[in-house]
A and B are shown apart, each in its own frame.
Chain A
């Protein structure tokens, strides 16, 4: 049994300590907004925030997350940056299939929490681990700039 702080709530899960956090969120807690894409930290679909940092949950053992604050796509909109990013994403209609977009948004929010005026190069570096097979990258970039402007 592990105890986690997820989206401001203390929850318990009866899982092995080496279970990746992704599957605890998705299968045990049924927070399915966080997605499975590759299982090897190659695509970023599983990105959440652990103590404000973007982490890939598909390879992160749940035991490494027990002392931290976990924020997922389901509650990231509670923060001003999270809300600004989600709104920019909607205004620019970034999504296509949408499957990677939870992870994209979590990475974008983590970037903007650190850097309110990211350059294109900053965006390339922060978002390079998030794959979108629909290739919505033009709009991801535009939406991050738009969110940054709305937060200024």
Chain B
């Protein structure tokens, strides 16, 4: 048999097995069995399933059910490690399967009754839950062995997936005990391991998804092919708030492969037998848009408005002492403003979604990030109950927050297309890169203005921070977090600034008349607040003639975890020691630092940069210290730090979505530049040893990067960068 045929048949098998998995996990079938005993029928064999997160088959496979989306952050590996640790499984027998959408079992414990992934919460919220899941299974397997061997359970040990009783010489694999364990009652209480006895947590173990993702076998939404499925490409309006006026699809329908053209609320969808034909069909459409209600401001006009707003006091988000009064009477004050642009998430997999309607309801294939919300939105649209919306959560080719879509925008669009063809066939909606780039739901543009006062000893005595920017929580499933006019995600990282400053005030303006849809973007509010606060602290250190690290440490006495990472990063970076000269003539080198806490993880970074004589900036090296509690998988933590630094550096150097008269200028990777391999700095990661419960790592290393880099640029050149991206601001 040739290789090609093998591959084709393997693909068919994969599709078949995906269907089987689904059949096994319909929530209404599974819930009852999982609650009462540890057994479930799995085709011909009986599997041991003591809880919603774990299945052990008689063939000795341990399957961990992941309630969180794997979008690159390594969560499948992390979640499985926690279960395998308490189960004492061997890592080689562990595999991971995506959980169905069922908030009754798979809710994010940090999100109340909602299933979903975000806020760097996957490991943090699952930690206790999955330890208990693993320990419960272990206790039942041991009990089963004790019964079979007629020995005391206390004398039984489990090591690397083998259950042993030394005195009697009995031993069995987990799989061999699965059937017997399944008959036993689920214990009410279990004993968890002492961290000192961990054998997987904190060790280097391989990622679960590496083999499939290096051989082209990993299934993304883009890869789904269903019988009779049509692929849809949509013509979207040229501005936010514009609507369809009329269209002529005569030519589009002539394109070979095009089957249908339909009007939907967000534009005109061309459905074809394949993606290329759908795209060609869209090219052939002729459309009139009604732009009378469209948003028509450009980026510079938005900034102008925001600067005007920043002239007056905003809603107070945090206050202690009397910053206004002290600033008015302090002689030595400093003031600065910082501007940050709209940013697209631009994950490698452009947004897409597959939906099929059937008599039972609606089935979705998607790299789904907010299952419960998406279920409710689709249920309403199709007039179904949420349980009738089945979501197959696939690997996501990146997200950075985008697939946790406000308004479930791309999912709703796919649903409208299915609706428009009366659900006759399954539909795969494909956004081309340009659609993805221009669809909005951006990280909001922000203007920050800061004032500070220094006393005669150079101590920071007053701080006032005024932010202007759109709310991401507004109109989202998290809207209830907005209290007294403050979206906490707008000011996070600013209102909880850790430095000891007696007179402190943070104010917020939230303009509601800007028609650009905005959304969380990796590290949310901290993606802009870390920049303004850590740059301004650096400016003040320079003004007070203090060392940026020592001065921060003086003000962090009450924040040991901030201080801990700052000291560690500074020490490992050789802070205070001279940098080697640049190789190029006229180039200047400098070192900068920043520290920031987000999502309960503390990160400090020291960046070393070279600024060429033509103004080009190269980040040579970043030394990063991170305190995220217990590092479940240190190598995954390290990978997230490396990736976050590269992601944040893209934004710092080039990232900007610009609007002109309401139109998004950028469309693809030529004008929304991603970092490429040649610009990637050398990265050193130092993880603080901790016994605290694990916290997040997917986002926290993002915020400190931009201020560390621009502070390094100041150290090199004496020039302050107060607007991102850095772009060509240093070009002479």
Across the interface, which residues of B come within 8 angstroms of A99, CB to CB? 220, 347-349, 397-398
List A100-122 residues whose CB lies under 8 Å from chain B: 100-102, 105
Q: Which of B2, B217, B635, B647 contacts A135 (CB 8 A)?
A: B647
List A73-112 residues whose CB lies under 8 Å from chain B: 73-75, 77-78, 86, 89-90, 93-102, 105
Q: Does B645 contact A (CB under 8 A)?
A: yes
Across the interface, which residues of A come within 8 angstroms of B398, CB to CB? 96-97, 99, 133-134
Q: Does A40 contact B (CB under 8 A)?
A: yes
B348 & A93 in contact (Cβ 8 Å cutoff): no
Across the interface, which residues of A come within 8 angstroms of B274, CB to CB? 23, 27-28
Q: Does A16 contact B (CB under 8 A)?
A: yes
A6 & B4 in contact (Cβ 8 Å cutoff): yes
Q: Does A42 contact B (CB under 8 A)?
A: yes
Across the interface, which residues of B come within 8 angstroms of A37, CB to CB? 348-350, 433
Q: Does B615 contact A (CB under 8 A)?
A: no
Given contacts A11-B4, A30-B11, A97-B395, contact A86 B643 (CB under 8 A): no
Q: Does B677 contact A (CB under 8 A)?
A: yes
Q: Does B72 contact A (CB under 8 A)?
A: yes
A-contact 0/1 string along B218-233, CB 8 Å cutoff:
1110110100000100
A97 & B71 in contact (Cβ 8 Å cutoff): yes
- Residue among B213, B214, B636 with most chain A CB within 10 A: B214
A-contact 0/1 string along B652-695, CB 8 Å cutoff:
00000000000000001110001111101011000000000000
A19 & B276 in contact (Cβ 8 Å cutoff): yes
B680 & A135 in contact (Cβ 8 Å cutoff): yes
* Cα(A9)–Cα(B635), bound, Å: 39
Closest to A90 in B: B210
Q: Which of B5, B231, B348, B639 contacts A43 (CB 8 A)?
A: B348
* Cα(A37)–Cα(B349), bound, Å: 6
* Cα(A103)–Cα(B432), bound, Å: 18
* Cα(A101)–Cα(B2), bound, Å: 24
* Cα(A105)–Cα(B669), bound, Å: 20
> How far apart are B65's CB and chain A's nearest CB, in angstroms?
20
Q: Does A31 contact B (CB under 8 A)?
A: yes
Chain A interface size band reads: 35 or more
B214 & A35 in contact (Cβ 8 Å cutoff): no
Given contacts A23-B274, A123-B677, contact A34 B348 (CB under 8 A): no
* Cα(A98)–Cα(B276), bound, Å: 23
* Cα(A138)–Cα(B209), bound, Å: 19
A30 & B275 in contact (Cβ 8 Å cutoff): no
A33 & B216 in contact (Cβ 8 Å cutoff): yes
Across the interface, which residues of B come within 8 angstroms of A74, CB to CB? 3-4, 7, 215-216
Across the interface, which residues of A come within 8 angstroms of B11, CB to CB? 30, 32
B207 & A95 in contact (Cβ 8 Å cutoff): yes
Q: Which of B4, B210, B643, B645 contacts A75 (CB 8 A)?
A: B4
* Cα(A26)–Cα(B219), bound, Å: 12
Q: Which of B2, B214, B430, B647 contacts A89 (CB 8 A)?
A: B214
Given contacts A7-B4, A27-B275, A127-B677, contact A95 B214 (CB under 8 A): yes
Across the interface, which residues of B come within 8 angstroms of A140, CB to CB? 677
> How far apart are A31's CB and chain B's nearest CB, in angstroms?
7
Given contacts A23-B274, A98-B397, A127-B677, contact A38 B210 (CB under 8 A): no
* Cα(A148)–Cα(B73), bound, Å: 28
B643 & A131 in contact (Cβ 8 Å cutoff): no
> How far apart are A20's CB and chain B's nearest CB, in angstroms?
6
A96 & B72 in contact (Cβ 8 Å cutoff): yes
* Cα(A101)–Cα(B216), bound, Å: 8
A-contact 0/1 string along B268-284, CB 8 Å cutoff:
00000111100100000
Closest to B352 in A: A36
Q: Does B396 contact A (CB under 8 A)?
A: yes
Across the interface, which residues of B come within 8 angstroms of A6, CB to CB? 4
Q: Which of B3, B225, B676 contacts A128 (CB 8 A)?
A: B676
- Residue among A96, A102, A128, A140 with most chain B CB within 10 A: A96
Given contacts A6-B4, A90-B206, A96-B72, contact A33 B217 (CB under 8 A): yes
B4 & A100 in contact (Cβ 8 Å cutoff): no
* Cα(A89)–Cα(B210), bound, Å: 8
Across the interface, which residues of A come within 8 angstroms of B676, CB to CB? 128, 131, 137
Q: Does B19 contact A (CB under 8 A)?
A: no
Closest to B222 in A: A36
Residues of A within 8 A of B (CB): 6-9, 11, 15-16, 19-20, 23, 26-40, 42-43, 45, 72-75, 77-78, 86, 89-90, 93-102, 105, 123-124, 127-128, 130-141
Residues of B within 8 A of A (CB): 2-5, 7-8, 11, 71-74, 206-207, 209-220, 222-223, 225, 231, 256, 273-276, 279, 346-350, 395-400, 430, 432-433, 635-636, 639, 642-647, 649-650, 668-670, 674-678, 680, 682-683
List the 10 closest pairs (A to B, CB-CB), nearest first.
A33-B216, A135-B646, A99-B397, A98-B213, A97-B72, A9-B4, A96-B72, A73-B216, A32-B223, A27-B274
Beyond the given pairs A43-B674, A86-B215, 15 more chain A to chain B contacts, judged by CB atoms under 8 angstroms and listed by A's residue number, are A23-B276, A93-B207, A94-B210, A94-B214, A97-B72, A98-B214, A100-B348, A127-B677, A131-B348, A132-B677, A133-B348, A134-B348, A135-B680, A137-B677, A138-B683
Q: Please, could you name 26 A-B residue pairs with CB atoms under 8 Å apart, sorted by A? A: A8-B2, A8-B3, A8-B4, A9-B3, A27-B273, A35-B220, A36-B350, A39-B668, A43-B348, A43-B669, A72-B216, A74-B4, A74-B215, A90-B206, A90-B214, A95-B207, A96-B72, A97-B71, A97-B399, A98-B214, A100-B348, A131-B348, A131-B669, A132-B646, A135-B644, A137-B676
